[in-house]
Amino acid sequence: MNKEVDPKELEELETGEQLTLPIRPRDLRRSIRVTIRGRSVRLAGIRHIPPGLLGWLLVLGPGLIATSAGNDAGGIATYSSAGAKYGYDLIWVMVIITVSLAVVQEMCARLGAATGRGLLDLIRERFGAGWAIFAVGVILIANGGVTISEFVGIGAAMELIGVSKNLAIPLTAGFLWYLVVYGNYPSVEKIFLAMTVVFFAYPIAAFMGHPDWVQVAHGAFIPKIRWESDYIFIVVGLMGTTITPYMQLFQQSSLVEKGVARRHYGPERADAYFGSVFSNMMSIFMIIATAATLFVVGQHEIETAADAARALEPVVGSAAKTLFGIGLLGASLLAGAVLPLATAYAICEAFGLPKGVNLDFRRARVFFNLFTGLIVIGAVVALIPNIPLIKMLVWIQVLNGVLLPIILVFILLLINDSRLVGHLKNTRFYNFLGWGTFAMITFAVVIMIAGQVLEPFGIHLFGGG
Partner 1 sequence: MLLYSKLRRFALIDGKGRRAKLIDFIVELLPEGYPRVTHILFRDSRRKQEVLSWDAVVSIDHVGRNIKVKDVETGELAPEEWLRKRVLLSDVHDSMILDLEHLRAARANGLLLKEEDGDLLLCGIDTSLSATLRWITGGRFGYVPKATTHDWAAIEFLRGDPQTVKKCMVDGEGIAKLPAGEVARLANQLPYMHAAELIMLLPDALAINTLEAMTARRRLQVFEELTEQRGLRMLELMAPDVAADLMGTLQTETMQDFLDRLPEVQSKRIIDLLCYPEHTVGGIMTNDIVFAPMRMTIAEAREKLRERLKEPDFVYLIFIVDDEIAKRQQGIVPIRYLLTADDNQTLQEIMDKKVLTLDALESADKASFKVIESQLAALPVVAPNGQLLGAVTVDAAVLQAAPEAWGSQAPRIFS
Which residue stretches of 259-319 are H helix?
269-293, 305-309, 313-316
Of 4 and 360, which CB lies nearer to partner 1 in the complex structure?
4
| Minimum distance from residue 141 beta carbon to partner 1 (Å) | 17
Residue 444 C-alpha from the chain's centroid? 21
175 DSSP β-pair partners: none
Of 66 and 294, which CB lies nearer to partner 1 in the complex structure?
66
| Minimum distance from residue 369 beta carbon to partner 1 (Å) | 10
In DSSP notation, 27-40 reads --TT-EEEEETTEE
Residues 389/153, Cβ–Cβ less than 8 Å? no
| Minimum distance from residue 442 beta carbon to partner 1 (Å) | 26
Q: Which of 386, 382, 371 is nearest to 340 (CA)?
A: 371
CA distance 14 to 113: 44
Of 88 and 265, which CB lies nearer to partner 1 in the complex structure?
265
The set of long-range contacts for 451-456, using a CB threshold of 8 Å and a minimum separation of 24, is: 451/229, 451/232, 452/229, 455/229
Of 124 and 310, which CB lies nearer to partner 1 in the complex structure?
124
Of 72 and 313, which CB lies nearer to partner 1 in the complex structure?
72
459: left (phi over 0), alpha (psi -120 to 50) or beta: beta
Of 16 and 317, which CB lies nearer to partner 1 in the complex structure?
16
Of 127 and 435, which CB lies nearer to partner 1 in the complex structure?
127
| Minimum distance from residue 189 beta carbon to partner 1 (Å) | 10
| Minimum distance from residue 5 beta carbon to partner 1 (Å) | 4
| Minimum distance from residue 212 beta carbon to partner 1 (Å) | 44
Residues 271/61, Cβ–Cβ less than 8 Å? yes
| Minimum distance from residue 14 beta carbon to partner 1 (Å) | 13
| Minimum distance from residue 112 beta carbon to partner 1 (Å) | 8
CA distance 92 to 235: 10
| Minimum distance from residue 438 beta carbon to partner 1 (Å) | 25
404: amino acid identity, one letter: L
Of 23 and 58, which CB lies nearer to partner 1 in the complex structure?
23
Q: Tell me the three state secondary structure of residue 45.
A: coil
Q: What HEC string does 90-106 produce?
A: CHHHHHHHHHHHHHHHH
CA distance 94 to 235: 9
- List C-alpha distances in Å: 359 to 276, 347, 355, 370: 34, 16, 7, 14
CA distance 37 to 25: 23
Residues 285/82, Cβ–Cβ less than 8 Å? no
